[in-house]
């Protein structure tokens, strides 16, 4: 909507007439003799007022009262105000600018100067409004673009995870449990460890990346993946390479604008079988050399394999699974990870119960 009105607020009629003469050829002029009239006119014509001239000293409601009202109604954001006053003091000028006044013009008026300064202010507000509109539109586009990227990522993750689960003959629920347990551990690390603080966005990315921890199993031969008997040492070594094969596969899906997500995927995929004492694979990392997100997925992967019966035909109870993990029977985990697991014990227990009952 085109803004074609100017509101002049002054208790002195002569001042209103002078300003009216300056602008009446270009704008429809609204007049108010006090603050109360001004507020009523603002409410009725707020979307059409291009600028408002406002006297500081008036009966009933002063100019500052009107500015208070405009701030409360948020009119001050899109209606520029030019304060008109015959009493110029540093204190009153400072207060006016603090209230959001765009300019101050002193009486008596110099018509050409008033015209020029008013035009500049109107153009400045229009330019700012256009920028804000463009920014708002661009923000909406970016949000929608990010939503599409997230949906595409979720589809890709789901598709790749399904292939992994199908080839390794594991339950389709395994990935969901890994994601659930990973989130629980990250939330508890946030709460109880002073060493880490993951934002909600970071946690979402890490949780999504955890779903691809075994993507490299796609490249393992069927003769190994589908073998029911115990694997030979050579076959075990080949199976361990799924951590490296997975990283090679991820490289093919890397996008220029997802470096953070790619990093989580890569490091979880490669390092989720590393152990705190350096006796894991493929690189023999130890301690803090192992990224914390890979440590988290490593532990919950081990936990899930026990409570869901992937290691033995009879699943472990949660307490028993935690006990054997603490004992290091499936590799050594850091004290920080074990302490976090203990603190998260109740939530892990309930999540395991819920997820496993769902799978049944």
For 122-142, write each residue's pLDDT tens digit: 988 888 878 877 877 877 777
Is the same domain home to 111 and 226? no
> Are residues 211 and 286 both part of a single domain?
yes
Global pTM reads: 0.59
Q: What is the pLDDT of residue 169?
A: 45
Residue located via tokens 């003959």 = 169
CB atoms within 10 A of CB 275: 23
On whether residue 224 sits in a domain, the answer given is yes
pLDDT band at 354 (very low <50, low <70, confident <90, very high): confident
Q: How are strands ordered across the β-sheet holding 81-85?
A: 28-32, 5-9, 49-55, 81-85, 103-106
Structural domain includes residue 155 = no
Beta bridge partners of 29: 6
- Same structural domain for residues 174 and 274? yes
Which pLDDT score is estimated for 110? 86
Q: What is the mean pLDDT of the chain?
A: 86
Residues 328 and 230 in one domain: yes
Report, as an integer, the average pLDDT of 81-89. 82
288 three-class SS: helix
CATH number of 260's domain: 1.10.3210.10
pLDDT at 257 (0 to 100) = 58
DSSP labels, 59-126: SSS-HHHHHHHHHHHTGGGTS-EEEEES---HHHHHHHHHTT--EEEESSP-HHHHHHHHHHHHHHHH
Q: Residues 263-298: pLDDT tens digits?
A: 999 999 999 999 999 999 999 999 999 999 999 999
Q: Say yes or no: 109 and 202 in one domain.
A: no
What are the tens digits of pLDDT across the range 143-189?
676 666 566 566 566 556 556 555 554 556 788 899 999 999 999 99
Q: Where does the pLDDT of residue 217 fall: very low under 50, low under 70, confident under 90, or very high at 90 and above?
A: confident
Kindly state whether residue 148 falls inside one of the protein's structural domains.
no
Strand pairing report for 81-85 and 5-9: unpaired
Same domain, 36 and 174: no
Pairing of strands 103-106, 81-85: parallel
What is the pLDDT, as a whole number, of residue 23?
93
Residue 343 structural domain: 168-359
Confidence (pLDDT) at 150: 63
| Residue 211 DSSP one-character state | T
- Say whether 219 sits in a helix, a strand or coil: helix
Would you state the pLDDT for residue 3?
A: 87
Domain membership flag for residue 96: yes
- Percentage of the residues of the chain whose pLDDT score is greater than 90: 51
Residues near 60 by beta carbon (within 8 Å), at least 6 away in sequence: 34, 35, 36
> Residue 271: inside a domain, yes or no?
yes
Give the span between the Cα atoms of 251 and 156, in whole angstroms. Answer: 14
Q: Domain count of the chain?
A: 2
For residues 232 and 349, state if they share a domain. Answer: yes
Same structural domain for residues 69 and 108? Answer: yes
Cα–Cα dist 74/49, whole Å: 14
In this structure, the answer to whether residues 110 and 196 fall within a common structural domain is no
Per-residue model confidence (pLDDT) at position 280: 95
Q: Indicate if 123 and 269 belong to the same structural domain.
A: no
Q: Considering the domain boundaries, does residue 145 fall inside one? A: no
162 domain-assigned: no
How do residues 22-55 score in pLDDT, each as one tens digit? 999 999 999 999 999 999 999 999 999 999 999 9
The answer to whether residues 129 and 172 belong to one domain is: no
228-275 per-position pLDDT tens digit: 888 899 999 999 999 999 898 888 777 665 688 889 999 999 999 999
Domain with 21 in it: what CATH number? 3.40.50.2300
Determine the Cα–Cα distance for residues 296 and 2; give it in Å rounded to an integer: 58
Geometric angle at alpha carbon 162, from 169 and 237, rounded to 5°: 50
Find out whether 57 and 13 touch, Cβ atoms under 8 Å: no
Among 97, 118, 138, residue at a domain's last position = 138
Of 45, 22, 4, 2, the residue nearest 105 (C-alpha):
22
In a domain, 163, yes or no: no
Looking at residue 161, its pLDDT comes to 59
316 and 245 inside one domain: yes
């Amino acid at each position: 909507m085109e803004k074609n009105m100017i509101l002049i607020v002054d208790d002195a009629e002569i001042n209103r007439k002078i300003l009216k003469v300056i602008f009446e050829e270009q704008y429809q002029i609204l007049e108010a003799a006090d603050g109360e009239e001004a507020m009523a006119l603002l409410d009725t014509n707020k979307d059409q007022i291009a600028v408002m001239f406002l006297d500081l000293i008036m009966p009933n409601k002063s100019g500052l009262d009107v500015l208070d009202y405009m701030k409360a109604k948020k009119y001050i954001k899109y209606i520029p105000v030019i304060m008109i006053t015959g009493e110029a003091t540093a204190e009153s000028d400072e207060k006016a600018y603090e209230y959001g006044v765009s300019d101050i013009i002193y009486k008596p008026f110099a018509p050409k100067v008033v015209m020029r300064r008013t035009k500049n202010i109107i153009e400045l507000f229009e330019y700012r409004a256009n920028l804000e509109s463009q920014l708002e539109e661009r923000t909406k586009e970016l949000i929608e673009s990010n939503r599409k990227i997230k949906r595409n990522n979720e589809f890709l993750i789901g598709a790749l995870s399904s292939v992994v689960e199908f080839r390794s003959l594991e339950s389709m629920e395994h990935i969901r449990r890994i994601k659930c347990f990973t989130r629980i551990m990250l939330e508890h690390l946030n709460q109880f460890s002073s060493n880490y603080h993951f934002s909600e966005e970071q946690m979402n990315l890490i949780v999504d990346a955890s779903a691809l921890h075994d993507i490299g199993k796609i490249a393992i031969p069927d003769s190994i993946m589908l073998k029911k008997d115990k694997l030979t040492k050579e076959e075990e070594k080949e199976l361990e390479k799924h951590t490296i094969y997975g990283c090679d596969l991820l490289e093919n899906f890397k996008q220029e604008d997802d470096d953070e997500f790619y990093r989580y995927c890569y490091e979880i995929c490669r390092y989720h079988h590393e152990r705190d004492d350096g006796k894991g694979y493929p690189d023999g990392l130890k301690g803090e050399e192992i990224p914390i997100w890979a440590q988290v997925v490593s532990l919950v992967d081990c936990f899930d394999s026990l409570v869901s019966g992937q290691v033995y035909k009879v699943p472990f109870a949660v307490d028993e699974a935690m006990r054997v993990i603490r004992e290091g029977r499936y590799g050594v985990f850091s004290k920080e990870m074990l302490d976090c697991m203990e603190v998260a014990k109740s939530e892990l227990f309930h999540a395991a119960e819920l997820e496993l009952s769902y799978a049944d």
